[in-house]
Structures are given as C-alpha cells and as structure tokens.
C-alpha cells in the first residue's frame, strides 16, 4: 500500500530550493498583483482563517480580474 503524501525523493538541498523562485510567485508577479497577494498571505499567516481576510481576498481577486479583462481582446 502506498504511503500518503509525496512519493518523490528529494534530490536537491533546501538551499537550492530557496535560491529558485516559486513558480506561483513568478506567475503572480507577472500579473502586477504581488502586493495584494502578499497582503493576503500576511493576513492568512496572522489570522489562520481566510474568512477573517475578506478585504484582502477581495482586493487580490479584483486585481486578478482587472488583469484578466485587460488581456481579453
């Protein structure tokens, strides 16, 4: 029976991982919504419940929606 969780073996060190940019952060950075994303992350870290971070959730969602509308022809 397979063990729960990831089944890959870690072949790189933690230092190598820290040097590389997270692909999700890179994508969000390209949208121009990184400030809103960081505010949401900070709220989530402090409050541990997205329901207490609704202003940040809305701000990030609105920023991403503006970006999507700007991309559409």
pLDDT tens column, 17-55:
566 778 988 999 999 999 999 999 999 999 999 899 999
> Residue ranges per domain, the chain?
27-71
pTM for the whole structure: 0.66
Length of the chain in residues, anyone? 73
Residue 21 CA to residue 58 CA, distance in Å, equals 25
Residue 27 CA to residue 67 CA, distance in Å, equals 12
């Amino acid at each position: 029976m397979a063990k729960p969780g990831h089944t890959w073996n870690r072949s790189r060190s933690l230092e190598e991982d820290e040097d590389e940019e997270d692909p999700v952060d890179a994508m969000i950075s390209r949208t121009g919504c990184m400030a809103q994303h960081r505010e949401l992350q900070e709220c989530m870290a402090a409050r541990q419940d997205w329901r207490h971070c609704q202003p940040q959730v809305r701000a990030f969602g609105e920023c991403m929606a503006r970006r999507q509308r700007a991309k559409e022809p």
